[in-house]
Amino acid sequence: MQGRSITTHSGWLMSTMLAMVTLGLWVATTSAAEAQVKSLDDALGNLANNIARVIKDRQDEASVSIGVIADPDGLSGGQAIKQRLEEKLKTQGLEVKKRGAPVQVRGDYSVEKAAAGHVIGIRTELTEGRTGAALSKINEKVFIEKVTKLDDVLGLIGVTVDTTTEASPLGAREKVAEKIDKPTVAIATENATSTVKSVVSAEAGSPYQVQILLKVGTDAATGAPQFKSLDATNEGGEAFVRLEKDQIYAVRIINKATDHDVAVQVLIDGVSAFVFSQNEALKKHDRFVIDREKAGTLRGWHDTGNKFFEFVVSDKAAAGKLDAPSSSVGTISVLFFPSWRVDEDQPTVERKALRSKGLSTQKGSRVDAPAEVVERHFGVTLLASVSVRYDQVEPAKPAAPTTAQLSR
């Protein structure tokens, strides 16, 4: 796949470039559509179709509002499900209103182990907009061991895993399922002299690594932002960092692979770092790029060109576009895929795969970062997923919003 990307001169690129679940009505039997679902995207499409059918059968006004999609404890992908469901409902010809619609959709999701494998279940309830009276219940589910794409599943539930050790897609899915039951993570210091264990990866020796950096000030002479690496702790096989309300953080992404670049998808509580982007091409392809043996620092939500809105820890929704957290835990996830230049052959990792087939983060101050647009190919092989969690803050009196950026 080929697309447009933005890059800084230090080997850090933003790129232009998808997913997994199974759906059916709230009944004991499995629908024919459910058996064909191979991705979360398919599942949410089926869910939207069923919701639209109920609404259109009972009224002339084809409009709906979406309430909270509640997160289970420890996960924070509800607003990502809500956002994508809204997009699917619009393709069904429904007007999605903030409030005042005759029908409201609300729900939750869970990750469970069943006889057939690990299941992500999405449950929704349709109610009367004004009275709250129940109208209908619609469920969907995805069997993780049977999906054709793992990236949306991992982005939703925040599993940390390196799949490059597996010889087949089935092996990769089984490894993800194993990590759900018994999560593990590797945390190391940045170098031999450092005492801060801040570098998070799926396992020791994995070339795909993540650090969370805390903004601690601004250089008085140059105006450049100053950051320090946050200590990460292993809590039950998951990486945690300590972030406080109103703190500003950045995500440093490290590619130690010697033979290929990577395209990365950065998700904050399951929502793309391109959610606020004014560049529709970049927003569609939803990838940043990092050269081989390089690292780049993402300072925030992409806005336009080389401008970004800083990642700010908050107890309120980001610019009114994202939900306030419904979980006590926030999740920062980075998904790694192969990337290669237009004059290069596919890297080995891509050819091999093709042969086998709470606290929330809101917009902060807007900042500039050196960047340029380049053309790159993007692979579909998921190499690794690295997630770092942080405790959500308790709600407080709303404060004025700020603005944000990306930088090395």
pLDDT profile of the chain (408 residues), mean per 10: 43 35 26 60 92 82 89 87 94 91 93 89 92 92 88 91 88 92 96 94 96 95 93 96 94 95 92 92 90 94 91 69 67 93 80 49 56 62 92 48 38
Q: Any alpha helices (H) in 205-336, and if so which ranges?
A: 280-285
- Count of CB atoms situated within 10 Å of the CB of 59: 11
As a whole number of angstroms, the distance between CA 225 and CA 223 comes to: 6
pLDDT value of residue 399? 40
pLDDT value of residue 377? 67
As a whole number of angstroms, the distance between CA 387 and CA 323 comes to: 20
- Indicate the angle between helix axes 78-91 and 40-58, nearest 10 degrees: 60
Name the residue among 305, 193, 201 with its Cα closest to residue 253: 201
DSSP 8-state assignment for residue 177: H
Residue 403 domain-assigned (yes or no): no
- The one-letter amino acid at 34: E
Residue 304 domain-assigned (yes or no): yes
pLDDT value of residue 52? 92
Which residue range(s) make up the domain with 141?
22-145
Q: Any alpha helices (H) in 259-388, and if so which ranges?
A: 280-285, 348-356
Q: Are 165 and 314 members of one domain?
A: yes
Indicate the residue among 80, 114, 145 that finishes a domain. 145
Q: Are 232 and 341 members of one domain?
A: yes
- Residue 31 contacts residue 25 (beta carbons within 8 Å): yes
pLDDT value of residue 375? 61
Report phi then psi at 89, rounded to 5: -65, -35
- Residue 54 contacts residue 104 (beta carbons within 8 Å): no
Q: Are 354 and 294 members of one domain?
A: yes
pLDDT value of residue 360? 53
Q: Are 129 and 176 members of one domain?
A: no
- Residue 151 contacts residue 22 (beta carbons within 8 Å): no
Residue 226 domain-assigned (yes or no): yes
Q: Are 338 and 224 members of one domain?
A: yes
pLDDT value of residue 325? 57
Could you identify the residue written with the tokens 């390089």?
294
- Residue 215 contacts residue 225 (beta carbons within 8 Å): yes
DSSP 8-state assignment for residue 31: P
pLDDT value of residue 32? 39
Q: Are 249 and 299 members of one domain?
A: yes
- Residue 264 contacts residue 334 (beta carbons within 8 Å): yes
Residue 225 domain-assigned (yes or no): yes
Residue 404 domain-assigned (yes or no): no
pLDDT value of residue 252? 97
Q: Are 237 and 108 members of one domain?
A: no
- Residue 300 contacts residue 308 (beta carbons within 8 Å): yes
Residue 138 domain-assigned (yes or no): yes
Q: What is the CATH number of the domain that holds 124?
A: 3.40.50.10610
Indicate the residue among 145, 174, 195 that finishes a domain. 145
- Residue 110 contacts residue 120 (beta carbons within 8 Å): yes
3-state secondary structure of 48: helix
Q: Are 283 and 384 members of one domain?
A: yes
Q: Are 205 and 341 members of one domain?
A: yes
Indicate the residue among 145, 167, 198 that finishes a domain. 145
Could you identify the residue written with the tokens 């990838």?
287
DSSP run (H or E) holding 25: strand 22-25
Beta-strand pair 329-341/384-391: antiparallel
pLDDT value of residue 114? 87
Residue 301 domain-assigned (yes or no): yes
Q: Are 11 and 103 members of one domain?
A: no
Q: Are 377 and 267 members of one domain?
A: yes
As a whole number of angstroms, the distance between CA 69 and CA 7 comes to: 35
As a whole number of angstroms, the distance between CA 91 and CA 82 comes to: 15
As a whole number of angstroms, the distance between CA 328 and CA 360 comes to: 9
CA distances from 344 to 179, 341, 355, 374 (A): 34, 5, 19, 14
3-state secondary structure of 264: strand
pLDDT value of residue 29? 27
Provide the number of structural domains found in the chain: 2
CA angle 336-339-342, nearest 5°?
170
Could you identify the residue written with the tokens 């920062």?
332
Q: Are 43 and 93 members of one domain?
A: yes
As a whole number of angstroms, the distance between CA 90 and CA 134 comes to: 22
Residue 402 domain-assigned (yes or no): no
Report phi then psi at 190, rounded to 5: -70, -35
3-state secondary structure of 405: coil
- Count of CB atoms situated within 10 Å of the CB of 299: 28
